[in-house]
C-alpha cells in the first residue's frame, strides 16, 4: 500500500519450475583447498530447475549491459560448463577468480560459511539484473526475486484495544532457530505462534494513543517458488555447533505457516541439501546432495 505498481523486469509467466529437457548428472567440482563452501552452493544452484533453465537459455547474456564483472553471466557460463561437459569434474575457476566481487569478506584459501556465500551469490545475481535505478517494488521483480523471493507478514496486536498493525518484508531465505525443536515442522510452528513483545520493544498504539503491551505474529505472506531454509547450527551465545538431529520431510506443506492458512495445500518438494561435517562451526567440510 502506498507504493507504485512495480515495473516487470522479468515476466513471471516465462519461469518454468521443471527442466525443459532431461538433464544427466553434470560434472563434479574440484576442491582447490577450502573451497567446499563455494562448490556446494554452486551445485545446489545448478540443479535448481527454474534458475538453470533460465541460464541455459542465454536470456541474460544476450542482453547484458554490465561493465566488467557480472554474476549472472558468470553463473550462466558455470551452469553450462557443468551440465554440458563430458568431464567427470571441472574447475569453478571464474567464480574463484572473482570471489571478491561476490563478497568482499571472502578470502581465497580460508574456510568460510556456505550460507553466507549463498546470500552473497543471490545478492550479486540480483544486482546484475538491475540495469538502471528502480524503485523497491520493481527491484523485487528480477528473475532472482521471482524464483527465490517471498514476503513475510508481521502483525503486531495491541493487547489493550486489539488494534492491529501489519507490515511486510521481502526475503530470499529464512533462517531458523533449531535449539528447542527436533523437527522442521515444530520450528515453523513456533515461528508463527504469537509472542508478546518484551519491554525493550516499545509499542505505541495508534488507536488507543498510548504505550501498551502487544503481541507479534510472523507468517509467510507470499511464498517463493524456491524456498531456502537455513537451520542455525551456531549457538548465538557460545558459538558452539548445535549438532542435534532435525527431521525434515521430503514434502513440506507450507500452508499452515501462511497468512492465509485455510487455502489449498502448498507443497514444497525437497531437492537439495547442504550439510556441514565437523565438530565446530569454524572448521570442517561442506557436502551437498541434489536431485
In a domain, 269, yes or no: no
Residue 191 is a catalytic residue: no
In a domain, 225, yes or no: no
Q: What is the pLDDT of residues 79-130, one digit of tens each?
A: 999 998 889 999 999 999 999 999 989 988 888 999 999 999 999 999 888 8
Domain count, the chain: 1
Q: What is the pLDDT of residues 42-82, one digit of tens each?
A: 999 999 999 999 999 888 888 887 888 999 999 999 999 99
Distances, alpha carbon 130 to alpha carbons 118, 119, 145, 181, in Å: 19, 17, 12, 39
Provide CB contacts within 8 A for 248, sequence distance 6+.
Answer: 183, 184, 270
Give me the domain span that covers residue 53.
Answer: 25-148
Q: Can you spell out the DSSP letters for 51-90?
A: HHHHHHTTTTTTT----S--HHHHHHHHHHHHHH--SSEE
Residue 285 is a catalytic residue: yes
Q: What is the pLDDT of residues 14-29, one digit of tens each?
A: 888 888 777 688 999 9
Question: Tell me, what's the pLDDT at 4?
Answer: 55
CATH of the domain at 132: 3.90.70.10
Instruction: Name the percent of the chain lying above pLDDT 90.
Output: 51
In a domain, 134, yes or no: yes
Q: Which residue in the list 36, 158, 191, 288 is annotated as catalytic?
A: 36
pTM of the shown model: 0.88
Provide the mean pLDDT of the chain.
87
In a domain, 141, yes or no: yes
In a domain, 289, yes or no: no
Q: What is the pLDDT of residues 168-209, one digit of tens each?
A: 898 999 999 998 888 999 999 999 999 888 755 667 787 887
Q: Which residue in the list 64, 133, 285, 288 is annotated as catalytic?
A: 285
In a domain, 193, yes or no: no
Amino acid at each position: 500500500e502506498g507504493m507504485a505498481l512495480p515495473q516487470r523486469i522479468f515476466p513471471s509467466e516465462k519461469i518454468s519450475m521443471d527442466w525443459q529437457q532431461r538433464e544427466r548428472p553434470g560434472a563434479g567440482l574440484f576442491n582447490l583447498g577450502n573451497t567446499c563452501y563455494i562448490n556446494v552452493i554452486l551445485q545446489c544452484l545448478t540443479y535448481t530447475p527454474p534458475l538453470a533453465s533460465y541460464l541455459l537459455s542465454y536470456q541474460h547474456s544476450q542482453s547484458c549491459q554490465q561493465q566488467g564483472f557480472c554474476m549472472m553471466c558468470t553463473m550462466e557460463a558455470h551452469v553450462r560448463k557443468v551440465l554440458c561437459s563430458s568431464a567427470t569434474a571441472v574447475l569453478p575457476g571464474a567464480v574463484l577468480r572473482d570471489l571478491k566481487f561476490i563478497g568482499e569478506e571472502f578470502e581465497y584459501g580460508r574456510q568460510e560459511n556456505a550460507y553466507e556465500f549463498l546470500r552473497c551469490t543471490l545478492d550479486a545475481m540480483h544486482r546484475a539484473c538491475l540495469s538502471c535505478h528502480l524503485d523497491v517494488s520493481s527491484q523485487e521483480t528480477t528473475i532472482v526475486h521471482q524464483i527465490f523471493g517471498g514476503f513475510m507478514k508481521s502483525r503486531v496486536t495491541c493487547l489493550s484495544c486489539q488494534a492491529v498493525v501489519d507490515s511486510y518484508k521481502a526475503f530470499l531465505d529464512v533462517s531458523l532457530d533449531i535449539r528447542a525443536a527436533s523437527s522442521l515442522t515444530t520450528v515453523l510452528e513456533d515461528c508463527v505462534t504469537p509472542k508478546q513483545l518484551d519491554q525493550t520493544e516499545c509499542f505505541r498504539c495508534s488507536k488507543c494513543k498510548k504505550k501498551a503491551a502487544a503481541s507479534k505474529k510472523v507468517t509467510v505472506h507470499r511464498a517463493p517458488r524456491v524456498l531456502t531454509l537455513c537451520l542455525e547450527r551456531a549457538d548465538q551465545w557460545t558459538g558452539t555447533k548445535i549438532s542435534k538431529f532435525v527431521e525434515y520431510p521430503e514434502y513440506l506443506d507450507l500452508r499452515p505457516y501462511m497468512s492465509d492458512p485455510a487455502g489449498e495445500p502448498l507443497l514444497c518438494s525437497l531437492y537439495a541439501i547442504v550439510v556441514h561435517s565437523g565438530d565446530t562451526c569454524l572448521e570442517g567440510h561442506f557436502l551437498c546432495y541434489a536431485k
